[in-house]
Structure formats: C-alpha cells, structure tokens
Amino acid sequence: MQTGASSDMRVPASLFILNVSINMATNNSNGTLGRGRLIGGIAIAIIAVVLLSLWLVRRAPVQVHAEKVVRQDIASTISTNGKIEPVANFEAHAPAPATVKRVMVQLGDRVKQGQLLLQLDDAEARSQASRARAQLTVAESDLQSLQSGGTQEEVLTTRSDLIKAQTERDEAQRRLQATRRLQQNGAASPAEVQEAQSRLTKAEAEVQLLQSRQTGRFSKPEIAKVQAAADQARAAYAAAQELLGTTNVRAPFSGTVYQLPVKTGSYVDGGALLVQMADLDKLQVRAFVDEPEIGRLALHQKVNITWDAVPGHTWDGAVTRVPTVVTTLGNRSVGEVTCEIPNSDRRLLPNVNVNVSIITARHENALTISRESVHELDGKRFVYQIVDNKVRIQEVEIDLSSLTRVEVVKGLAPDAEVVRGIVNGRLLQSGMEVKVVQP
C-alpha cells in the first residue's frame, strides 16, 4: 500500500498499521499461537481504524454558521414590565351608607364634563342638612347675642337702666354743686356735702356697671365657648351640604366610564366605589427599573409598549418621570419610572399589565453583528473572522447593544464575514479551515 500519492496527500501511520495487522492475522491463523496472534491483530486493527477516523475528522473543514457585518439602526433598551394607569382619573365613592337611586350611564360610555352619572337616595342627607342648619341658626343667634351684650330684651333693659342711671348721676352732680355753694354761704353743713358726694359716687358706679354690661358682659371662657359652638355648627352644616351635593355624581371632565360596580337599587356601604372614569386618550405606565440601569434613564426617552392581549401592536410614548429614590421590591432594588402613552384608538385599558421597552440610546447606520458572534476572554472581545475559508481571531470594540445585536466600532470592515456558530461543537483555533453551511 502506498504511503503517499502526492506532495500534499500523505497516508497516516495508522493506515499502515492497519494493513500490517491484517496481514499478520491472516498469516498466523493456524494453531493456538495463531489464534492469539489473530486476536491481537484484530485489536491493533480496531485501534488503527479509530486513529484513521480521527485523522480524517481533523483534516475535514469545520462546519460553521456565518454572517456578514451589516449596517443598520441599533437601539439600546431597558426591558421591564409595568401597569397602565389613567393620567386624568376620577373615582366616586359613597360618602355614607346609601341606596343607588338611579344609574345614568353604562360601562364604556363616553361622557362629557358635568354629565350626571348616577344619583344616590338623598333623604338622609337632606335630614342631616336640615338638622345642621337648625344648629347653626341657634349658634349664630348665641354669637350675635354675645357680640351685642345679650338678648334683645336684655339689651333694651340694660339700655333703659343706663339712661335712668345717667339721669340720676347728672342730678346727683347738680345737687353736689348746689350743696357746695350753700356751704360756702354757711347754709349747708359739711355732712350735707358729704351725703351729696356719696349719692354722686353711687350714681357714677351704676352708670359704669351698666356700660360694662353693654361691652363686656361675658367672660373670656364664655366668649370662647359660644364661638367654638358657632364654628362647630358651621362645619357641620358645610359637611351636610357637601354630603347632599355628593348624592348627585357628575363627570368632572370628559372621558370614558371604565368601572361601574353598582346598579339602580343597589345598597352600598360608606366608602364603596360607585363609578370610575378616565380620559383614555392619554394614559401612563408605571414601571420599575433595576438599580444598575437607573443611571441610563432620562426624561423624554422614547418608550415602546406592548400588551399580550393585542399581539403585534405597539404603542409609543416617552418617559415623564425618572426615579428619585431606590426601593425594595421583593428581592430587587428598583426605581419607579412613569411614561406617558398616547392612546387615541383607546385599545389600551387602565390596570392592565404591559411590556415596557425604554430606548436609552439609538445609533443610525451602524455596523452590527449578532450578539452570539462576539466572544470575551480576559476582558477583551473578539470574533472568529473568516478569511479565505480559514478562521482568524479578530479583536473588536463594541458600543451599543440590543437584545440580539451589537454595534462594532472597531476591528471589522463592512461586509466582513464572521462565525456565528459551530455545527459539530469543535473548538475553533486560528488558521483552521472552515466550511460555511446554512442553518
């Protein structure tokens, strides 16, 4: 058997061993010694076959999947999930236990600002308002009496007594003056003068007492008590009026009714949800971003929203608020971000869970390759570039990366071909011959 047919094709030693082993087994097939040599020859032949197979495999080109570097737009994104919320939202709750008198709308209705949505039975509210009004009237009357010095009868009596006392004081003053003149002429004694002085002093004291009744009849604690009662009565009346006003639920703005858990005749407890409406043309999504990615966020970054219930449809929005604090959510450290989403088709609904993709950076016409084509060793990134059907290890620098592709900024030229995957799992080495096959 020839060991080589040409300068570039040599038969391996394993093939020669196989040939010799077979000849030995054939020539010594007789006798016990021959049988032993036969078994040994067969074993050697098997080893030779294995070696030959390995040799043939190693000489065959490595089958790989490949791709070419292409130019395309690439975006770096943060992917998370979030929940849809209305930007303008209105919820009406029962102010107290009541019966739903009438429901004027249906779920999904578009309503205008000021439109009546539903009515509650207002009999109890009217009764409370009436009682509060009566209490306020009494309190205001007491306050007016306090400010004027008492009731009207008391004021009139005090005024009459004051006029009388002032008259007596003036008369006592004239008598004192006359008595003093008589004393100077010797017609009145000092005792008479003293008596006239006493009458004047008593009359002046009575005037001062009646005057104080007009302005300072009540003590500070009494004044505070009456004022507190009046304030409490005003607050109770205002609350009763507000309660009466809430029995008619009206739309504060134009929007869509998306929650209506009650119907006409239903009895509801205080605080129960009656109706919920929102402007569905403009919604927001509240999402949570892991702490290491918060630094990539900025206001007005573009956002793509998808909802599993509407496959194939994407809503575009923008970041309106970035995290200001990091909180713990389960076993994650996250920041809360909100994004505003136009919803002119009104297909998105409040309270649904959606997929959120925040575009933190975008480069146009960039050189890109698949993420799986890039490898890393000792902090350096490289690819297996294919040149003349052989592998060459090429170091590269990358910038942006999306979920499936990376941007190459140094190391590869446009249309360069790189290994994307290996078919038979063999390890690639620089200089290996490869054969590109289709996936």
Q: In the predicted model, what is the mean pLDDT of residues 360-376?
A: 94
Q: What average pLDDT does the segment 228-250 reach?
A: 71
Q: What is the dihedral of CA 16, 20, 22, 23, to 10 degrees?
A: 140
Q: pTM of the entire structure?
A: 0.56
Query: How large is the average pLDDT for residues 369-396?
Result: 93
Residue 57: partners with Cβ closer than 8 Å, 6 or more residues away: none
pLDDT tens-digit series, residues 60-92: 788 999 999 999 999 999 999 999 999 999 999
SS3 assignment, position 221 = helix
Give pLDDT tens digits for 224-238.
Answer: 666 777 777 777 767
* Mean residue pLDDT across the chain: 81
pLDDT at 205: 84
Bridge-based pairing of strands 434-436 and 62-68 is parallel
Q: Beta 248-250 vs 9-10: how paired, if at all?
A: unpaired
| pLDDT tier, 263 (very low <50, low <70, confident <90, very high otherwise) | very high
Residues present in the chain in total: 439
Percent share of the chain, pLDDT over 70: 74
Task: Tell me whether strands 267-268 and 375-377 are parallel, antiparallel or unpaired.
Answer: unpaired
Please compute the mean of the pLDDT values over residues 429-439 and round it to a whole number. 88
Higher pLDDT, residue 175 or 128: 175
Q: Render pLDDT for 27-60 as a digit per residue (tens, 0 to 9).
A: 555 555 556 666 766 777 677 666 655 554 455 7
